[in-house]
């Protein structure tokens, strides 16, 4: 599968601060990127979908002013959690959908390794 990296892999921050998570595709042109959140012992919940160069589309119940998503290029998307609070502590996973740089069929999503956010 395609290689997707996330940085940082874990972060601990104080309440009220902002945290930026990066998601990069290393061998893949990600036309669409997805951000998911996973609370302990729960499934993945889609937060937002973004297309390169366009504004993100947020799922119902997700505050767009709190979770800022930027998808400025085909290889990089960022999620910024603004004014983080303890209830934002979660495992954040990005995924990408698009086409391999080497060619071949597209359409499948490839997931990053995740970022564990702990807000104190």
Site of interaction with other proteins (CB under 8 A) = 1, 32, 34, 42-46, 49, 93, 95, 107-114, 116
Residue number with CB closer to other proteins (103 or 107): 107
Task: Report in angstroms the alpha-carbon separations of 47 from 7, 34, 66, 69.
Answer: 18, 8, 11, 10
Closest to 117 (Cα-Cα) out of 87, 89, 86: 89
Residue 38, both tokens:
């996973």
Q: Are 23 and 86 in contact (CB under 8 A)?
A: no
Q: Smallest gap, in angstroms, from Cβ of residue 6 to other proteins? A: 8
Cα torsion for 92, 96, 101, 103, to the nearest 10°?
140
Q: Smallest gap, in angstroms, from Cβ of residue 29 to other proteins? A: 16
Closest to 77 (Cα-Cα) out of 86, 85, 67: 67
Q: Smallest gap, in angstroms, from Cβ of residue 72 to other proteins? A: 20
Q: Smallest gap, in angstroms, from Cβ of residue 93 to other proteins? A: 5
């Amino acid at each position: 599968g395609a290689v997707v990296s996330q940085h940082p892999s874990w972060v601990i921050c104080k309440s009220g601060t902002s945290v930026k998570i990066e998601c990069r595709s290393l061998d893949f042109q990600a036309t669409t990127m997805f951000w998911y959140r996973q609370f302990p012992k729960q499934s993945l919940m889609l937060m937002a979908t973004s297309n390169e160069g366009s504004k993100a589309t947020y799922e119902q119940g997700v505050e767009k002013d709190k979770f800022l998503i930027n998808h400025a290029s085909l290889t990089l998307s960022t999620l910024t959690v603004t004014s983080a609070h303890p209830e934002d502590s979660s495992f954040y996973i990005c995924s990408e959908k698009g086409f391999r740089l080497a060619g071949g069929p597209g359409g499948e999503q490839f997931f990053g390794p995740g970022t564990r956010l702990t807000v104190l």
